[in-house]
Every structure is written in structure tokens, then in C-alpha cells.
């Protein structure tokens, strides 16, 4: 029983190299994992399952073929692809799961999340998140024409990129106290997330003892993944050059 974790691919049609690199990772680890968790921001942007996207078609075909061989595939939402719906998940042969996900990893109680909820000091973002995660907002948004959704999506992205530039570094990272609180709440020793694009393995001091926080990196310049078996979990980079 081995698990593969990947986050923040940020796939888009203008970056076929990322899709290629991810598929190469899946090829190179074939037979070494039986469960794949994609921890959000798999797509740079997602405006509804009806949006035409070549890379999304490719990913669905690839995941579906994998699922057909018995590998279980789970999708979590990120802050960019929170509108990925059950229709697309079904095309992938994947199960869409709500964060946080509790599971056993490397013989420990572990928690999976995208990671954006841990950035509690970014109050603007948390307010935005509350708005767009509201089912009523989502229904209204998805009822708009594709052109309207593209325009709104572009506007929101510009705004968020602008405000990210103005924010201090620590605001964009997780809040340490929130990490400790969440790990205590769910009684886990291991937390795996992405989102911050700061890949690392951190020690966390919990009241119950020593904990670990593993942060998956983004796939803009190179890949990152965690491969775990019953005993150990390891964060590894995956150079894009390996995919050429
Ligand atoms: Mn994110």
C-alpha cells in the first residue's frame, strides 16, 4: 500500500510542458503507488466543467486509464480550481473529496488539505474564500455564460495577483498557531498540504509530541511529489528535464 501526493500543478493549455512532466512522473512511478491524491490547484484556473480545455481532457483520459487499472484517485479543491465538479471528477474516474481528509500515512494519523485555510493572516483572502465557497455564489456563477465567467475570472485573478504583491511574505504563508491548532483538533502527527509554493518538511511542536508538516511545491519550474508507504513519507523534487 503506497500513496502518491501531488499539488499545485497549475495546468493550463499554454504550458503543455507541465502536463508532460506530470505524466512522466506517473510513468516513472508506475507500480510504486496504488492511491493518488491531487491536493488542489491542479488547474491554473477552472471556470466550470463545461469549459473547453485540452490539458483537462488529457488529464481526464490519463487518470481514467489509471483508475481503470485499479489505482484510486482522489481530488481536493484548491483556491484556483474550487469549481471542479462531479462531472469532471467522473471523467477522471476520480473521487472528489472535501478537505480536510483524515487518513493513515507512513503509519501515522495524517491530514490532507490544500493549505489556503491555514493562511489565516490573509484576512482579505479568507473573506473572498468564504464568498466563492458559498454554494449559492457558485450556482449563480456557473449559471452565467462562459464569456461572462471568463471575464469575472480574469478580473478576480488580476485583483488577487495585485494584492498578493502588496502583502508581506508572512501573510502569504501558513499561520504557525493555526497549523498546531488544526493538527491538535484532528489528532494527527502529520499534515500534508500545498498552496504556499514553499516545499519543505517542517517539524511541528504539538502538545501531544512531535509532529511533521510536509509542504508540496508547485510545478511552475519543476515538479514535487510525496511518495509514502506504511513506514515513511518523503518529499521529492522532479526535474522537468527528466520529461524531455
Ligand atoms: Mn493554492
Q: How far is the CA of 96 from the centre of ligand 1 (A)?
A: 17
123, pLDDT greater than 70? yes
C-alpha cell at 162: 495585485
Q: How far is the CA of 191 from the centre of ligand 1 (A)?
A: 16
Give the Cβ contact number of residue 43 at 10 Å. 22
Average pLDDT over the chain reads 95
Q: How confident is the model at residue 138 (pLDDT cuts 50, 70, 90)?
A: very high
pLDDT by residue (tens digit) across 185-200?
999 999 999 999 999 9
pTM score: 0.96
The strand pairing partners of 37, in sequence order, are: 5, 74
Beta carbons of 36 and 74 less than 8 angstroms apart: yes
C-alpha cell at 12: 493550463
243, pLDDT greater than 60? no
User: Based on C-alpha coordinates, what's the Rg of the chain?
Assistant: 18
Predicted local distance difference test score (pLDDT) of residue 164: 81
Q: Which whole number is the average pLDDT over 165-173?
A: 83
Give 37: exposed, middle or buried? Use CB within 10 Å, 0-12, 13-18, 19+: buried
Q: How far is the CA of 197 from the centre of ligand 1 (A)?
A: 8
Provide the residues around ligand 1 (an ion) whose CB is within 5 A. Answer: 41, 78-79, 195
Predicted local distance difference test score (pLDDT) of residue 78: 97
Give the Cβ contact number of residue 75 at 10 Å. 21
pLDDT by residue (tens digit) across 100-118?
999 999 999 999 999 999 9
3-class secondary structure per residue, 127-177: HHHHHHCCHHHHHHHHCCCHHHHHHHHHHHHHHHHHHHHHCCHHHHCCCHH
Q: How far is the CA of 207 from the centre of ligand 1 (A)?
A: 28
Give 229: exposed, middle or buried? Use CB within 10 Å, 0-12, 13-18, 19+: middle
Place of cell 472528489: 96
Beta carbons of 133 and 103 less than 8 angstroms apart: no
Q: How far is the CA of 109 from the centre of ligand 1 (A)?
A: 24
Q: How far is the CA of 195 from the centre of ligand 1 (A)?
A: 4
Q: How far is the CA of 92 from the centre of ligand 1 (A)?
A: 21
The strand pairing partners of 153, in sequence order, are: none
Q: How far is the CA of 82 from the centre of ligand 1 (A)?
A: 10
Q: How far is the CA of 224 from the centre of ligand 1 (A)?
A: 14
Q: How far is the CA of 45 from the centre of ligand 1 (A)?
A: 11
Q: How far is the CA of 128 from the centre of ligand 1 (A)?
A: 13
Architecture of domain 3-243: 4-Layer Sandwich (3.60)
Q: How far is the CA of 38 from the centre of ligand 1 (A)?
A: 12
Q: How far is the CA of 44 from the centre of ligand 1 (A)?
A: 9
Q: How far is the CA of 166 from the centre of ligand 1 (A)?
A: 18
C-alpha cell at 134: 458559498
In the chain, domain spans = 3-243
242, pLDDT greater than 70? no
Q: How far is the CA of 115 from the centre of ligand 1 (A)?
A: 7
pLDDT by residue (tens digit) across 40-68?
999 999 999 999 999 999 999 999 999 99
Predicted local distance difference test score (pLDDT) of residue 244: 53
Label the pairing between strands 3-6 and 72-75: unpaired
Amino acid at each position: 500500500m503506497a500513496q502518491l501526493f501531488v499539488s499545485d500543478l497549475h495546468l493550463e493549455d499554454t504550458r503543455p510542458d507541465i502536463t508532460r512532466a506530470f505524466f512522466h512522473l506517473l510513468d516513472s512511478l508506475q507500480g510504486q503507488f496504488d492511491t493518488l491524491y491531487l491536493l488542489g490547484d491542479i488547474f491554473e484556473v477552472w471556470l466550470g466543467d463545461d469549459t473547453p480545455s485540452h490539458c483537462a481532457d488529457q488529464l481526464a483520459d490519463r487518470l481514467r486509464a489509471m483508475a481503470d487499472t485499479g489505482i484510486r484517485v482522489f481530488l481536493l479543491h484548491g483556491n484556483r480550481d474550487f469549481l471542479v465538479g462531479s462531472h469532471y471528477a467522473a471523467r477522471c474516474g476520480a473521487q472528489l473529496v472535501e478537505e480536510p481528509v483524515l487518513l493513515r500515512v507512513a503509519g501515522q494519523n495524517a491530514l490532507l488539505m490544500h493549505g489556503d485555510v491555514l493562511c489565516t493572516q490573509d484576512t482579505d483572502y479568507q473573506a473572498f474564500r468564504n464568498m466563492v465557497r458559498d454554494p449559492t455564489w457558485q450556482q449563480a456563477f456557473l449559471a452565467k455564460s462562459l464569456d461572462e465567467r471568463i471575464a469575472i475570472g480574469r478580473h478576480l485573478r488580476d485583483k488577487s495577483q495585485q494584492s498578493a504583491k502588496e502583502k508581506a511574505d508572512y501573510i502569504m504563508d501558513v499561520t504557525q498557531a493555526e497549523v498546531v491548532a488544526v493538527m491538535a483538533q484532528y489528532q494527527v502527527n502529520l499534515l500534508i498540504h500545498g498552496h504556499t509554493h514553499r516545499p519543505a518538511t517542517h517539524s511541528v511542536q504539538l502538545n501531544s509530541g512531535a509532529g511533521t508538516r510536509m509542504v508540496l511545491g508547485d510545478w511552475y519550474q519543476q515538479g514535487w511529489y510525496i511518495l509514502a508507504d506504511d513506514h515513511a513519507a518523503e518529499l521529492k523534487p522532479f526535474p522537468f528535464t527528466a520529461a524531455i
